[in-house]
């Protein structure tokens, strides 16, 4: 009985406090001869001050008893008499524990109309912030849960609670909005790890969430009633093509296949009731999360300084008093956060207090409220202190990986290390005397000439001539000088154009991108047996190795090699001193742009091991043409006894 009354009071409290609740009323049926009714009476009197209570005597109000089909006393009906929306009925017949639980559950569900409320009630956490899910230590996540924009992009430092928001959005959408969700991670392996890891943990900690799902057997597809949660990797041809969902969550956007992402986003735009989330630590400028963030509201988490009262935010380096001179300097620990307006020290332990009233505020000039972007860095973190940030910063001096990690993972900002991108100056330094219009080589000449072709909307082609001026038996790339003779592009339907290039330049060996028109490429290569190979990038253990197979391509050589290592080989030609590549004086600007569009950054594999890789921030077809020429070089010397003139 006591429990029942308690629940009743809670119920009234919840409904009574909700501004949107339409005139909640409590109807009670009691009788003078009923002992429990007598016990309830004083509480009912108190409730009358907070909520409208209509008190019927069971014996004297037969009409109402019939209307509400009352069969026992006491009976309580909670609802809105005006709209006849009855929220709950409790009778003395059903005072068992289950009823009380079900009642509490229904009351709770009725109040979980926003994702943040839902999460705080349904999610249970372990570890550092064990217990019911909340945002005391990361207050910036609360309103993130409840954004109503179609596109939401979060550019963030590591470990700031954003992935939990994404998980909450996914589960809330399934449970309350009754819509399908697609949760995408960079790789299928990552998606399955996420499914078995974080997702399973969320379920194991919360009985309610576990009860939502009717089928959990599949790793990449979870059934919650009529709704489905799909977990997928971003790579592969069909993964994002037909999105059957209302909520799309792209987790670690920067590591994904960018072309696929843009296709997916394009397809989603304009569709009603869609919601897209992109979250990531950034890598390089104008790529991935930074690219989409730039087109957003660009919101920062602003708060009031507890000392000067000014509206401010936490930024590097203005908000850090840096103490210590090198990474292992013990004085680093003495570094502290400060207000950039008044310079007053901000205590780490006070963060939950002074950040509690913080708000997301747009910094972009042209605001499309349907594309919201959020930026947050580790200066806000409750678990990372200023000393750790300073050590990480100092570690970055002379260490490209550490510097990249500091900017990307700690500050949540894109970063280009020195020398990680080819500059226009570097390109200009390689421009030589020759012209793209110089006389073509003679038939049967002795020159080592190669051709690299990138397939896409267009053919991009680059013709190179090679001079071996070092010890080729040790490292052919290092021992050779590359002279770019000619570059150009043409509609990719006309393979005859490539025939013309083969003959015009007396090409000794050509390497052609195997995709997307693999059949046509294969047919072309068959016309030049031993002089044309196809290529495709793949991940390999031994980075410099080229694997050549003929099975898949039926008689045509397919050279497979590691993308990063071979881009690196091309890049190093421009960076070495003296440079080992020469460009014609009339090289088109587009060629230069393609070479400047690739930036080296780092990523960590599933085991946490870092490796460098290249991301493109614009079209980069000519760069790949150079890579294919580099591969061609390794197959050309074998052909020194043959001349293409004999074949043509
Ligand atoms: Zn201040």
Q: How far is the CA of 128 from the centre of ligand 1 (A)?
A: 29
Q: Give the pLDDT confidence of 541-550 residue by residue, as tens digits.
A: 666 778 887 7
Report the range of poorest mean pLDDT among 243-247, 280-284, 462-466, 484-488: 243-247
Residue 22 has pLDDT above 90, yes or no: no
Q: How far is the CA of 384 from the centre of ligand 1 (A)?
A: 21
Q: How far is the CA of 331 from the centre of ligand 1 (A)?
A: 24
Q: What is the pLDDT of residue 646?
A: 38
Residue 122: which residues within 8 A CB-CB, separation 6 or more?
112, 133, 171, 175, 206, 208, 209
Per-residue pLDDT band for 373 (boundaries 50, 70, 90) equals very high
Q: Give the pLDDT confidence of 69-95 residue by residue, as tens digits.
A: 787 888 877 766 665 566 666 665 444
State the Cα–Cα distance between residues 633 and 580, nearest whole angstrom.
Answer: 14
Average pLDDT in the 639-648 region?
Answer: 42
Neighbours of ion ligand 1 (CB under 5 A): 305, 307-308, 339, 341-342
Residue 421 has pLDDT above 60, yes or no: yes
Residue 289: which residues within 8 A CB-CB, separation 6 or more?
153, 154, 155, 253, 254, 278, 279, 280, 281, 282
Q: How far is the CA of 339 from the centre of ligand 1 (A)?
A: 5
Bridge partners for 223 per DSSP? 215, 228
Average pLDDT in the 343-368 region?
Answer: 93
Residue 55 has pLDDT above 70, yes or no: yes
Q: How far is the CA of 332 from the centre of ligand 1 (A)?
A: 23
Contact 85, 71 (CB under 8 A): no
What DSSP character marks residue 588?
A: -
Q: How far is the CA of 150 from the centre of ligand 1 (A)?
A: 35
Which range, 63-77, 210-224, 341-355, 411-425, is most confident? 341-355
Tokens of 142: 């609360």
- In sequence order, which ranges of 284-372 are alpha helices (DSSP H)? 288-294, 351-354
Average pLDDT in the 598-625 region?
Answer: 85
Q: Using alpha carbons only, what angle is made at residue 564 by residues 561 and 565, rounded to the nearest 5 degrees?
A: 65
Domains and their CATH numbers in the chain: 2-111 (3.40.30.10), 142-294 (3.40.50.300), 305-358+379-415 (no CATH), 425-647 (3.30.420.240)
Distance of CA 89 to the CA centre of its chain: 46
Q: Give the pLDDT confidence of 274-324 residue by residue, as tens digits.
A: 889 999 999 999 999 999 999 999 999 999 999 999 999 999 999 999 998
Report the range of poorest mean pLDDT among 108-117, 240-249, 496-505, 553-562: 240-249
Which range, 32-36, 167-171, 465-469, is most confident? 167-171
Q: How far is the CA of 344 from the centre of ligand 1 (A)?
A: 6
Q: What is the pLDDT of residue 419?
A: 80
Residue 237 has pLDDT above 60, yes or no: no
Q: What is the pLDDT of residue 6?
A: 58
Q: How far is the CA of 336 from the centre of ligand 1 (A)?
A: 14
Q: What is the pLDDT of residue 5?
A: 59
Q: How far is the CA of 408 from the centre of ligand 1 (A)?
A: 27
Q: How far is the CA of 334 from the centre of ligand 1 (A)?
A: 20
Q: Give the pLDDT confidence of 193-223 residue by residue, as tens digits.
A: 888 888 888 888 998 999 898 877 777 888 8
Residue 245 has pLDDT above 80, yes or no: no
Q: How far is the CA of 138 from the centre of ligand 1 (A)?
A: 20
Tell me whether strands 509-513 and 532-537 are parallel, antiparallel or unpaired.
parallel
Would you call the peptide bond into 238 cis, given omega within 30 degrees of 0 as the criterion? no
CA dihedral (98, 100, 103, 108) in degrees, to 10, reads -100
Average pLDDT in the 157-181 region?
Answer: 93
Residue 266 vs residue 637, higher pLDDT: 266
Name the percent of the chain lying above pLDDT 70. 85
User: What's the pTM?
Assistant: 0.74
Q: How far is the CA of 351 from the centre of ligand 1 (A)?
A: 14
Three-state helix/strand/coil letters over 240-292: CCCCCCCEEEEECHHHCCHHHHHHHHHHHCCCCCCEEEEEECCCCCCCHHHHH
State the Cα–Cα distance between residues 222 and 381, nearest whole angstrom.
Answer: 33
Average pLDDT in the 111-124 region?
Answer: 89
Q: How far is the CA of 312 from the centre of ligand 1 (A)?
A: 8
Q: How far is the CA of 313 from the centre of ligand 1 (A)?
A: 10
Hunting for tokens 């057997």 — which residue is that? 217
Compute how many other C-beta atoms are within 10 angstroms of the C-beta atom of residue 616: 19
What Å distances lie between residue 329 and 278, 325, 622, CA to CA?
Answer: 38, 6, 46
Residue 399 has pLDDT above 80, yes or no: yes
Q: How far is the CA of 318 from the centre of ligand 1 (A)?
A: 12
Q: How far is the CA of 193 from the centre of ligand 1 (A)?
A: 44
State the Cα–Cα distance between residues 190 and 233, nearest whole angstrom.
Answer: 7
Q: How far is the CA of 304 from the centre of ligand 1 (A)?
A: 8
Residue 438 has pLDDT above 80, yes or no: yes
């Amino acid at each position: 009985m006591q429990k029942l009354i308690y629940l009743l009071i809670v119920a009234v409290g919840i409904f009574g406090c909700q501004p949107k609740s339409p005139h909640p009323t409590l109807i009670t049926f009691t009788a003078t001869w009923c002992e429990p009714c007598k016990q309830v009476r004083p509480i009912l009197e108190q409730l009358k001050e907070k909520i409208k209570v209509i008190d019927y005597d069971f014996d004297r109000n037969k009409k109402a008893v019939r209307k509400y089909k009352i069969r026992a006393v006491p009976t309580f009906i909670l609802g809105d008499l005006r709209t006849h929306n009855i929220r709950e009925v409790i009778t003395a017949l059903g005072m068992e524990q289950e009823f009380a639980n079900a009642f509490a559950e229904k009351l709770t569900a009725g109040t979980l109309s926003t994702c943040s409320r839902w999460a705080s009630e349904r999610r249970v956490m372990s570890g550092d912030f064990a217990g019911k899910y909340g945002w005391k230590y990361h207050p910036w996540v609360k309103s993130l849960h409840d954004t109503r924009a179609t596109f939401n992009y979060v550019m963030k430092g590591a470990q700031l609670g954003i992935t939990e928001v994404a998980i909450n959005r996914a589960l809330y959408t399934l449970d309350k909005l009754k819509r399908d969700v697609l949760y995408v991670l960079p790789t299928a392996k990552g998606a399955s790890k996420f499914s078995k890891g974080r997702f399973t943990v969320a379920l194991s900690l919360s009985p309610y969430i576990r009860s939502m799902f009717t089928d959990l057997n599949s790793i990449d597809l979870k059934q919650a009633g009529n709704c489905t949660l799909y977990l997928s990797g971003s790579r592969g041809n069909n993964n994002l093509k037909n999105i059957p969902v209302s909520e799309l969550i792209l987790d670690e956007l920067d590591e994904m296949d960018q072309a696929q992402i843009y296709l997916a986003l394009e397809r989603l735009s304009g569709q009603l009731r869609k919601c897209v989330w992109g979250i990531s630590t950034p890598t390089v400028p104008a790529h991935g999360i930074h690219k989409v963030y730039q087109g957003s509201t660009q919101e920062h988490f602003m708060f009031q300084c507890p000392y000067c009262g000014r509206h401010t935010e936490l930024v590097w380096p203005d908000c850090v008093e840096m103490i210590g001179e090198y990474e292992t300097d013990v004085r680093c620990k003495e570094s502290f956060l400060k207000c950039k307006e008044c310079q007053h020290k901000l205590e780490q332990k006070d963060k939950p207090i002074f950040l509690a009233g913080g708000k997301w505020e747009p910094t972009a000039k042209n605001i499309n409220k349907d594309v919201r972007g959020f930026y947050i860095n580790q200066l806000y973190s409750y678990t990372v202190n200023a000393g750790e940030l300073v050590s990480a910063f100092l570690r970055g001096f002379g260490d490209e990986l550490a510097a990249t990690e500091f900017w990307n993972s700690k500050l949540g900002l894109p970063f280009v290390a020195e020398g990680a991108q080819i500059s226009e100056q570097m390109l200009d330094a390689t421009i030589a005397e020759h012209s793209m219009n110089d006389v073509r080589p003679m038939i049967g000449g002795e020159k080592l000439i190669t051709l690299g072709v990138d397939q896409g909307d267009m053919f991009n082609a680059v013709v190179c001539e090679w001079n071996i001026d070092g010890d080729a038996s040790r490292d052919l790339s290092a021992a050779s000088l590359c002279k770019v003779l000619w570059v150009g592009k043409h509609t990719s339907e006309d393979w005859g154009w490539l025939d013309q290039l083969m003959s015009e330049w007396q090409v000794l060996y050509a390497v052609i991108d195997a995709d997307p028109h693999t059949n046509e490429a294969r047919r072309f290569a068959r016309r030049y047996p031993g002089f044309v190979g196809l290529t495709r990038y793949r991940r390999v253990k031994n980075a410099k190795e080229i694997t050549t197979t003929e099975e898949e391509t039926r008689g045509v050589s397919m050279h497979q090699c590691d993308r990063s290592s071979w881009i690196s080989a091309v890049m190093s030609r421009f960076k070495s001193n003296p440079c080992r590549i020469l460009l014609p004086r009339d090289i088109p600007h587009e060629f230069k742009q393609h070479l400047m569009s690739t930036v080296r950054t780092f990523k960590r594999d599933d085991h946490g091991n870092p490796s460098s890789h290249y991301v493109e921030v614009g079209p980069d077809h000519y760069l790949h043409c150079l890579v294919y020429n580099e591969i061609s070089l390794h197959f050309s010397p074998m052909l020194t006894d043959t001349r293409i003139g004999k074949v043509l």
